[in-house]
């Protein structure tokens, strides 16, 4: 599943990941639109994270040419703190999360976990998804811990060194 990874050369000099900002706001997911696109493009990863996934500009370009791509801004209060993208094509009952990032100045504050939870709610509300797959680079221990704690189970590593993990949605049967 090579679409999850596109290496990025770090061309812009150092990132500015030392900044600390207040956290604690509610997290919500927004479709990409004029009001949040610039902020999504300004999100940064730490230098040692930049090969873990494609940069957001490439992802948005890719999404513009793919009707199945669902790109989302991760918003805390009035601040865009992250970006993710998934595909939930109706036919196979599987959704695939293939981009997921929190700006490096905002990592480690629970935003990733909250965004994943909001995303799983959004995917569940679509109604047709049985399984959610996520792909991440096998060496990405932080991502592994996040996904495992949400119930994803590692399934296989693909040819590009990406791990595919699966979460099965358990459907609740309502009793009379």
* The only residue of 85, 111, 118, 120 in contact with ligand COA, by rule CB under 6 A: 111
Q: What's the token pair of residue 133? A: 């797959």
Residues 128-157 within binding reach of ligand COA (CB under 6 A): 136, 140-143, 145-146, 149
Q: What does the H/E/C string look like for the chain?
A: CHHHCCCCCCCCCCCCCCCCCCCCCCEEEEECCHHHHHHHHHCCCCHHHCCCCCCHHHHHHHHHCCCCEEEEEEEECCEEEEEEEEECCHHHCEEEEEEEEECHHHCCCCHHHHHHHHHHHHHHHHCCCCEEEEEEECCCHHHHHHHHHCCCEEEEECCCCEEEEEEECCCCCCCC
CB of 119 to ligand COA, least distance (A): 11
- Dist. CA 76–CA 71, nearest whole Å: 16
Cβ distance to ligand COA smaller for residue 32 or 101: 101
Site mask for ligand COA (CB under 6 A), range 1-40, x = bound: ----------------------------------------
Site mask for ligand COA (CB under 6 A), range 83-102, x = bound: -----------------xxx
CB of 115 to ligand COA, least distance (A): 7
CB of 10 to ligand COA, least distance (A): 14
CB of 141 to ligand COA, least distance (A): 6
Binding footprint of ligand COA, residue count (CB under 6 A) = 22
* The only residue of 8, 28, 37, 109 in contact with ligand COA, by rule CB under 6 A: 109
- Residue numbers of the site for ligand COA (CB under 6 A)? 45, 49, 52-53, 100-102, 107-113, 136, 140-143, 145-146, 149
């Amino acid at each position: 599943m090579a679409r999850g990874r596109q290496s990025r050369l770090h061309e812009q000099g150092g990132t500015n990941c030392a900044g600390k900002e207040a956290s604690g706001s509610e997290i919500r997911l927004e479709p990409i639109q004029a009001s949040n696109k610039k902020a999504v493009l300004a999100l940064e990863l730490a230098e040692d994270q930049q090969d873990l996934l494609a940069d957001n500009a490439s992802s948005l370009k890719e999404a513009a040419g793919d009707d199945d791509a669902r790109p989302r801004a991760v918003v805390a209060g009035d601040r865009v703190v992250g970006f993710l993208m998934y595909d939930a094509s109706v036919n196979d009952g599987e959704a695939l999360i293939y981009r997921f990032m929190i700006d490096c100045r905002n990592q480690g504050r629970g935003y990733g976990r909250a965004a994943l939870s909001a995303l799983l709610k959004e995917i569940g509300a679509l109604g047709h998804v049985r399984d959610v797959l996520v792909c991440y680079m096998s060496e990405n221990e932080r991502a592994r811990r996040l996904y495992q704690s949400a119930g994803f189970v590692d399934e296989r590593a693909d040819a590009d060194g990406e791990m595919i993990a699966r979460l099965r949605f358990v459907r609740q049967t309502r009793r009379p």
